[in-house]
Amino acid sequence: MYVGVFDLNQRLEQTRKVLREKQHLKKLIEEDIKELEKDVQDLEAMTDKSKYATSVQR
C-alpha cells in the first residue's frame, strides 16, 4: 500500500511540474501574440500613411 501512495505522490508532483511548465509556455505564447499584434498594427499604420502620401502626391 505504501508503494502505491508513493507512486501517486510522485505522479502528482510530476503533474504539477508539467502544469507549471505549460502555464509558463502559455504566458510566453500570449506575450508573443501581443507583440505580433502590435507589429501588425504598426505595419498597418505605416501602410495607411504611405497610401495617404501617395494619394496626396497625385
In a domain, 2, yes or no: no
In a domain, 44, yes or no: yes
State the pLDDT at residue 56: 59
Whether 32 has a pLDDT exceeding 60, the answer reads yes
Q: Taking residues 48-57, what's their average pLDDT? A: 69
In a domain, 53, yes or no: yes
Q: Which domain holds residue 44?
A: 27-58
State the pLDDT at residue 52: 66
Angle CA 21–24–28, to nearest 5: 135
Separation between Cα atoms, residue 45 and residue 51, nearest integer Å: 10
Q: Taking residues 13-31, what's their average pLDDT? A: 98
In a domain, 20, yes or no: no
Grid cell listed for 51: 497610401
In a domain, 34, yes or no: yes
More confident residue, 6 or 47: 47
Q: Taking residues 6-34, what's their average pLDDT? A: 96
- How many structural domains are present in the chain? 1
In a domain, 13, yes or no: no
Separation between Cα atoms, residue 37 and residue 57, nearest integer Å: 30
State the pLDDT at residue 53: 67
